[in-house]
Amino acid sequence: MPSVTADTPHSGTKSATRFSIVMAFASVYFFWGSTYTAIRIGAAEMPALLLTGVRFTIAGAILLAWCRWRRLQLLFPAKTMLMLGIIGLLLLGCGNLGLVYAEETLPSGLSSLVLAVTPLYVALIEEFLPGGEPVPRRGWLGMVVGFAGLAVLLWPSLHMGLAGNRSVLAAIIALLAGALVWTVGSILSRRTKLPVNSFVAASWQMLFAGVFNTMLGSLLGQWPQFHLTGAAIGSLAWLVTGGSLLGYTGFIYLLEHVPVAKVASYSYVNPMVAVLLGVLILHERPQAAEFIGMAAVVFAVFLLTTAQMKAKVA
């Protein structure tokens, strides 16, 4: 999911109806929150490289065709195209890949909560970069609460991994590494500020990441493990339409018509949706420690995002 920053432009709500804004929020909240459940289902039938590769190749091609139909500029100088490719590989080719690999082992709700701390990673790294945004005092409180909540969240799984369950330990490492790579991609995307339409940029980023992961999965001979069962097809269809197309277009629409502080609420609503769907659909049973960690992480992200928005306004 793209990161929201306080300097993202929007054009006010005059050109948008209340109904369209409500539907856009519903798309971002529900579809993005439900992708964790869909990934958990798909990861049981398809290798992570091919699942991400096929998903983003299809979604990128569809969105690029839509941009072509809208007569948007699609081609740019080689340096710009290269940067789009690098950002796409960081965010989707590697960052999202870590999530899919982790969900082959870890519950979807737990995975969503670990990734929910990504805004904390972004703020922490930006604090020490030249020209980065300083973290307000309330934001530092959010970081302390958030990383403490992350430790509580991961302790049961870490205990299993250290006790000899190497698959769980590998999944945790992949999830944390994916979150870090996603953070780097988010910061690079924000600092580069490419002169490219948001939808066109998303199209190329998805397409570059999808083709790369599909080619890599093919070279590693993973197609025999790619099982197109009914569950797999449903998972792919949901990820392409709900996650990559409807969710993202709703996100862009909101950035253009709603104050960014309100759009940023997705970062702490999505994990709650993911946990709820994991319980209802996948029959996941979070442990007591995970509920405590969930409350801490969601509250921490809320503290950080609202503190950043207030500091920007001031």
CB of 260 within 8 A of CB of 9? no
CB of 300 within 8 A of CB of 138? no
48 CB-contact burial (10 Å; exposed 0-12 / middle 13-18 / buried 19+): buried
> Would you tell me the crossing angle of helices 32-43 and 266-280 to the nearest 10 degrees?
40
Question: Among residues 113, 137, 115, which one has the least CA distance to residue 186?
Answer: 115
197 CB-contact burial (10 Å; exposed 0-12 / middle 13-18 / buried 19+): middle
What confidence tens digit (pLDDT) does each residue in 204-221 have?
A: 999 999 999 999 999 999
What type of residue sits at position 189?
S
% pLDDT > 90, the chain: 37
What type of residue sits at position 18?
R
What confidence tens digit (pLDDT) does each residue in 279-312 have?
A: 899 988 877 777 887 888 888 888 877 776 666 6
Q: Interior CA angle at 176 toward 140 and 284, to 5°?
A: 100
- Cut 0.85: pTM above it: yes
What confidence tens digit (pLDDT) does each residue in 105-141 have?
A: 988 888 888 888 888 888 888 778 887 777 778 778 8
Q: How confident is the model at residue 12 (pLDDT cuts 50, 70, 90)?
A: very low
pLDDT score for 313: 61
If you ran DSSP here, which 8-state letter would residue 221 be given? Answer: T
pLDDT score for 314: 60
pLDDT score for 10: 41
Cα 277 to chain centroid, rounded: 17
pLDDT score for 13: 40
> Alpha-carbon dihedral of residues 157, 158, 160, 164, nearest 10 degrees?
140
Q: How confident is the model at residue 58 (pLDDT cuts 50, 70, 90)?
A: very high
If you ran DSSP here, which 8-state letter would residue 196 be given? Answer: S
Q: Residue 262 half-sphere exposure, CB side, CA atoms within 13 Å?
A: 15
CB of 290 within 8 A of CB of 151? no
In angstroms, what CA-CA distances link 14 with 249, 261, 263?
Answer: 19, 18, 17
Cα 269 to chain centroid, rounded: 13
CB of 42 within 8 A of CB of 237? no
Cα distance between residue 59 and residue 36, in whole Å: 17
